[in-house]
Amino acid sequence: MASGFPLAPLVAIAAIVVLSYAAVAAPAPARRGFNVTTLSFDEGYAPLFGDGNLVRSPDGRSVRLHLNRYSGSGFISSDLYQHGLFSASIKLPSDYTAGVVVAFYTSNGDMFEKTHDELDLEFLGNIKGREWRLQTNVYGNGSTSRGREERYLLPFDPTAQAHRYSILWTSNTIIFYVDETPIREVKRSEAMGDDFPSKPMMLYATIWDGSTWATSGGKYKVNYKYSPFISEFSDLVLQGCRMDPIQLLPLDEQCADAEAELAAADYARMSPEKRQAMRKFREKYMTYSFCYDTLRYPTTFPDCDIVPSEQRRFRENGDSKIITRHRRPKHRNNNKFSNSAVDSERQTDI
Ligand SMILES: *[C@@H]1O[C@H](CO)[C@@H](O)[C@H](O)[C@H]1NC(C)=O
Ligand SMILES: *[C@@H]1O[C@H](CO)[C@@H](O)[C@H](O)[C@H]1NC(C)=O
């Protein structure tokens, strides 16, 4: 929908918005780690669907997406980006959220139906007392028959307060972040070929009814008695090279600068400390990895870095053996959960 929209006037309007905003409040530096500039909703995004269910805050710097029995809702970046940092602080709906999906992702599926690229952060709701799960995925050039899903629990209650979630995409690496912790890194390689996203993408944020699959493979559906389900997005960040949607050429003369800035940014560098933090996160919270799902993929992917010590912790269907009820109490002390349901039954979703 954003393609074909005249962009020049939009840019001019955005510039005016920036100016008038500056008079009221300086651009807010993003909290928690990253040195990035946050945008107001109108500076970088537009409603995508369910307009009536998209509610901006009075200052325009955050937006709430509602899901009720009539509709979900979503927004989209006004521009396409060839590489970038796509980030937001997100607070998820609490209480009974089975079947609810909150997605924060980049895609170009509207422009390249058969050869689209996509990077996913998807939050899968749950029945009362059970944790939300986070799923990441990577598609390149229409590699939809090769899902690269990973799923994780979170080390905090994502409904209690907003946390920053980010997707970094450069020409040779993809890093997913939860707050300042990298949770997944995908490095471009020859062998991965076009499965590594290569074409410009837009940022999407949506809330929708995923009753057919989101919770225990569709066993638990959305219960609208608990609606509206509200997800709040703030600290909005879009950083990278903007592209013309028609010609797919850089909009900014300084695209090389944008690329260089991205590549040099702290969030693009994997220090030994960050690698260690990522390894720890994955050890503690990863509940599924496509790399260890030998039932689904008898031949592993070239981008899978099979770590024998890690592999031992997974079943042949890719599910973690470790993150089960037996180990849950150990995690209780350092997070906010006190739900016995989690302990009494292993997560058996999809
Ligand atoms: C944050 O980024 C700006 C420009 O991108 C830079 O001038 C500033 O020094 C950075 N601040 C820190 C603390 O790194
Ligand atoms: C993507 O797939 C199409 C069709 O299979 C192919 O023609 C193209 O070369 C591939 N690579 C890119 C980067 O588009």
Q: Is 2 a member of any domain?
A: no
Residue 324 DSSP label: S
Q: How far is the CA of 198 from the centre of ligand 2 (A)?
A: 10
Q: How far is the CA of 30 from the centre of ligand 1 (A)?
A: 12
> What three-state secondary structure class fits 295?
coil
State the number of CA atoms in the 13 A half-sphere of 93 facing the CB.
30
> Residue 258: nearest ligand to its CA?
1
Q: Identify the pLDDT of residue 249.
A: 76
**194 Cβ inside 6 Å of ligand 2:** yes
Q: Is 166 a member of any domain?
A: yes
**pTM to 2 decimal places:** 0.84
Q: Identify the pLDDT of residue 274.
A: 96
Q: Is 349 a member of any domain?
A: no
Angle at CA of residue 63, ends 212 and 349, nearest 5°: 25
43, 122, 131, 150: which one is catalytic?
122
Counting atoms of ligand 2 from 1, which one is nearest the CA of 198? 13
43, 113, 118, 345: which one is catalytic?
118
The enclosing H or E element of 204 equals: strand 202-209
Give the CATH number, domain containing residue 172.
Answer: 2.60.120.200
| Predicted confidence (pLDDT) per residue in 60-103, tens digit | 999 999 999 999 999 999 999 999 999 999 999 999 999 999 99
Q: Is 267 a member of any domain?
A: yes
> Residue 260: nearest ligand to its CA?
1
Token couple for 75: 């927004």
Q: Identify the pLDDT of residue 324.
A: 58
Query: What Rg, from alpha-carbon coordinates, does the chain have?
Result: 20
Q: Is 116 a member of any domain?
A: yes
Low-confidence residues of the chain: pLDDT under 70: 1-33, 252, 254, 324-350
Q: Is 20 a member of any domain?
A: yes
For ligand 2, atom 7, which residue shows the shortest CA distance?
A: 115
Indicate the top mutation candidate among 194, 195, 196, 201 to test ligand 2's pocket, ranked by most ligand atoms within 8 A of CB: 194
Q: Identify the pLDDT of residue 254.
A: 67
Rounded CA-CA distance 203/48 in Å is 11
Q: How far is the CA of 37 from the centre of ligand 1 (A)?
A: 10
Q: Is 350 a member of any domain?
A: no
Token couple for 100: 């609810």
Q: How far is the CA of 42 from the centre of ligand 1 (A)?
A: 24
Residue 33 domain boundaries: 7-344
**Cβ count within 10 A of residue 159:** 17
Q: Is 144 a member of any domain?
A: yes
Could you tell me whether strands 73-77 and 45-49 are parallel, antiparallel, or unpaired per DSSP bridges? antiparallel
In DSSP terms, 84 is beta-bridged to 169, 240
Domain count, the chain: 1
Question: Does the active-site annotation cover 118?
Answer: yes
